[in-house]
Amino acid sequence: MLKEKVLKAINQQINNEYFSAYLYLSMSAWFQGKGLPGFANWMFIQYQEELTHGNKFFKYVHERGSQVVLQPIAQVETEFSDIIEVFEKTLKHEQFVTESINKIQDIAIAESDHATQSFLKWFIDEQVEEEANGQEILDTLKLINGQGNGIFMLDRELRQRVFVDSTVTAAV
């Protein structure tokens, strides 16, 4: 069984992960409406990744003999001023997720929950990658001032991204 403080924090993180998925799905829809299928694809894959992250937390709670308590998902933004704003919000959101996972780790340490500490390591490492990816695209967008032929080229590049469920460990 998970200790109460750890369980409460993980249940909140499940909500955060599903909110993230919904946010990225909204961003994908916005990009699709702007005729940017590559950007839409990148955000759709983010959506898929966040679902798998939420599901990983969901399964972990049950593996530990505890109960998931789903909470309502807050309304997400559906309109954005430009591409740069979307990726600024993406990076800021990933930083929020990193902070929330770090807080769970702090609680797990305080509660001497070694299994949860081990479980969270994957997410902590994943968040380094998530923030780096968002920052890289944002930096590129700022270099091209979020417009012109650079957008076309970046859109074509982002179209190539494919979903890989990184939460599934490879068979040894």
Integer Cα distance of 133 and 172 in angstroms: 28
**Residues counted in the chain:** 172
State pLDDT tens for residues 144-153: 999 889 999 9
Residue 171 has pLDDT above 50, yes or no: no
CB atoms within 10 A of CB 72: 7
Q: What are the structural domain ranges in the chain? A: 4-158
pLDDT in tens, 47-74: 999 999 999 999 999 999 999 999 999 9
The fold adopted by the segment(s) 4-158 is Ferritin (1.20.1260)
**Span between the terminal Cα atoms of the chain, in Å:** 28
| pLDDT one-digit tens code per residue, 9-38 | 999 999 999 999 999 999 999 999 999 999
Closest Cα to residue 44, out of 21, 74, 13? 21
